Structure 1
Amino acid sequence: MMDSTNFFLDSNAAFLLLLGFLQFLLFSWAFRNLPKENWQFLAVVPNIEPGVDAHNGTNYTWYGLFLATGYVLGALMFLLLMGSIAVPWNISLVVTVIVLAVCTPLSSIIARLVEGKKFTLTVGGAVFGGLLISPWIVHLLNMQAGTFLGYNVPVLPTMAAMAIAYGVGEGTGRLACISFGCCYGKSVNDLPSGLRKLLSPIGMTFSGKTKKIAYAHSLDGHAVVPIQAMTAIVYSATSLYGSWLFLNSSFEAAFTIVIGISQGWRILSEFLRADYRGNNKFTSYQRMSLLSLPYAAGLLFFFPQSAMSAPSIEAGLKSIWSPGMILFLQGLWAIIFLYTGKSKVTAARISFHVVKDRI
């Protein structure tokens, strides 16, 4: 049971307060700087062609860096929470790899089906697919490998940990959207008067002709609804509260609240977005989020909460503090960065010369 009088005294609460403080510092910097033109490209790698003065280059983006970081933070949070309930790290790792192997391609496949564009991603679509299949992956793992491994993974706490991890990863991952200028909100000037007065003071203005908001809707230089920043705050705050519930053994409440708020916000926030989301006013992504709510509720009946020992963040930290786990997270970051950070919608031309006073 939760004891609010101990919230500021135990290690679980101290960890969450530290995490929240670090997120506050990161978001405070990111919301001010990432809309600027100089925060889209991280590096350009030239493709050297002998005998020519200018070379084609491949752009690597801050979008990829923040998205990879979001993935890794989400995976890290999942492994940490699973370790806090004494799930062996190797079993948690197997679940993580299987779910990521399924959901990562879904982020591209679903976006292509909905938006009809080749080079685009959707985290929302991947989450919908992950929510559909993840509990059954865990259930099948228990049925097929539980005896061999000598351990059955608790399904509801695992789903709660996944939901929280999604919130953490999505909160950081939205910074990628700010950097690239995608998933952008409507122009503040186009809003109804009441919303315009409310959101004008926090409108976000992007610069740079290679950002998606510029070449897709010519909204660079205009104050728009800071929907990416709002989503980052909503998801991160929700995941922090969900983590507190989880660490106080309220797995059912953690799962219900995190899924309810995150998917509810997804439905509402789509009405404030200006980027192309398909031809329907009520988008496919909104339908996915709407369908996920009763589906998530149904999972509670199939996989009810069972008695477990109290979670411990210290046990979780010990479970992930190993060279193998660190190398896995580094490798995951590199794979996601190379997959999402290599720009397919921009190109570069590079020339080299010797500085005269160095001759």
Structure 2
Amino acid sequence: MHPVLFQIGSFPIGTYGLLLALAFFAGRALAQRQGKLDNLVPAAITDLAIAVLVAAIVGSKLLMIIVGLFTPAGQEGAMAFRDIFTLSTLRAGGAIHGGIIAATLVFFWKLRKGQGLPLRITGDALVPGVALGQAIGRLGCFSAGCCYGTETHVPWSVTFTNPVAQAFSGTPLDIPLHPVQLYNSLANLTVMAVLLIARKRRGFEGQIFALYFLVEGLGRIVTETWRGDGDRGTGWLGWSWLSTGRATGLGFMMLGLGLWLAWSRRRPAAAR
């Protein structure tokens, strides 16, 4: 599509990088709005969001390295290790579920340390914004050509022709592909909608946080059907169908179910 939005002299400004920034600000704004429903301080939400963002960037790059080194289809290990020291605006350079894992660990760590925010209610406020940020970020993937789909001849297929996309992401050119980045964006918007609807009928504190992992994991397992980029990693445990996204998606669903069962036994929250 359009990996480079414009250039300032010889410095390219990537569409992906700008959309990633927009994803952060939009996600933070939604998290603050949801937090106000439970009287959470907006400034505290912002501080937490920044810490989570940094963790997400590092975690996504670390998982990309692991995928490149330890899966049969992950052949970008050397490039991935080099890319961990960069913040290229032209390509994603990471695996989103690695970012979510790292961000979740930092989220629990910071709130256990005591940030003046209740853990479960804060999680409920944060995750709709996370889903919104993912949806916008996937538009960046589409513009950069990374995370591309398998070949198809359906009427809504997309064909990448920009050599910059191939140079940075290995995107096949002049071949009709599933626009799986848009599938993922739509899936993330659906996740956000489900969370916001469920938020109005919340039965216990932490329910929306747990629900996020359940529906995010399920959505990723489904959309992996049309992924065509080999460097995401497939063949975990010797099973060709078990890609990194499916493995982490299954893990997310197990985490969500565990949190749901554990937290639902506690005092229910009033619906808001």
Q: Is TM > 0.5 for Structure 1 vs Structure 2?
A: yes
Per the TM alignment, residue 302 of structure 1 is displaced from its structure 2 partner at its CA by 4.8
Provide the residue aligned with 1:291 in structure 2: 251
State how 1:90-239 maps to structure 2 within 5 Å: 90-115=43-68, 116=77, 117=80, 118-119=82-83, 120-141=93-114, 146=116, 153-188=117-152, 200-212=154-166, 216-217=170-171, 219-239=172-192
Q: What secondary structure, in the 3-state scheme, does the structure 2 residue paired with 1:294 have? A: helix
CA shift, 1:213, in A, is 8.4
Deviations 1:187-206 (A, max 9, x none): 015xxxxxxxxxx1221222
Evaluate the alpha carbon distance shift between residue 212 and residue 265 of structure 1 in structure 2; reply closer, same or farther with a 3 A threshold: farther
Task: Evaluate the alpha carbon distance shift between residue 92 and residue 236 of structure 1 in structure 2; reply closer, same or farther with a 3 A threshold.
Answer: same
Per the normalisation by structure 1, the TM-score is 0.61
Offset of residue 253 of structure 1: 4.7
- Structure 1 distance, partners of 2:129, 2:159, is 30
Q: Give 1:271's aligned amino acid.
A: T
Structure 2 match to 1:263: 217
Q: Give the equivalent residue in structure 2 for 1:352.
A: none
Match status 1:42 vs 2:5 = yes
Residue from 277, 285, 307 that aligns with 2:232: 277
Aligned-pair CA distance for 1:306: 4.2
State the alpha-carbon separation in 2 of the partners of residues 215 and 298 from structure 1: 36
State the SS of the aligned residue for 1:44.
strand
Query: Do 1:207 and 1:220's aligned partners in 2 also have CA atoms closer than 8 Å?
Result: yes
- 1:239-250 matched pairs, under 5 angstroms: 239-250=192-203
Aligned residue type for 2:135: G
Q: Distance in 2 between matches of 1:130 and 1:299?
A: 17
SS in 2 for 1:159: helix
Q: How far did 1:69 drift?
A: 0.9
1:75 correspondence with 2:35: no
Quick one: distance in 1 between partners of 2:161 and 2:174?
Answer: 6
Determine which structure has more spread, i.e. the larger CA radius of gyration.
1
Deviations 1:233-289, CA, capped at 9 Å, x for gaps: 111022022112214434555334432221112123223211122252322332222
Matches within 5 A, 1:296-307: 296-304=256-264, 306-307=267-268
Q: Deviations over 1:38-87 (max 9, x none)?
A: x22122233xxxxxxxxxx2211111111111122112211211122111
Identical-residue share of aligned pairs (%): 19
Alpha-carbon distance between aligned partners in 2 of 1:97 and 1:134, rounded to the nearest angstrom: 11
Identify the structure with bigger relative contact order (alpha carbons < 8 Å, sequence gap 6+). Answer: 1
* 1:164-188 CA-partner distances (Å, limit 9, x unpaired): 2221111111110111111010001
Q: Is the 8 A contact 2:131 2:191 kept in 1?
A: yes
Kindly provide the amino acid, as one letter, of the partner of residue 300 in structure 1. Answer: W
Amino acid at match of 1:161: A
Aligned mates of 1:236, 1:271 — CA distance in 2: 19
Aligned partner letter, 2:182: A
1:214–1:220 CA contact under 8 A, matched in 2: no
Classify 1:309/1:88 alpha carbon distance in 2 versus 1 (closer, same or farther; 3 Å): farther
Shift of 1:231: 0.9
Quote the Cα distance in structure 1 between the aligned partners of 2:7 and 2:243: 36
Find the residue that maps to 2:251 and give its secondary structure: helix
Cα RMSD, aligned residues only:
2.5
Partner SS state of residue 12, structure 2? strand
The residue type equivalent to 1:90 in the other structure is A
Partner Cα separation in structure 1 for residue 249 and residue 159 of structure 2: 28
What stretches of structure 2 of length at least 5 have no aligned partner?
69-76, 84-92
SS at match of 2:162: coil
Question: In the comparison of the two structures, how many residue pairs are matched?
Answer: 244
Q: Secondary structure at the match of 1:59?
A: strand
Deviates more, 1:243-252 or 1:69-78: 243-252
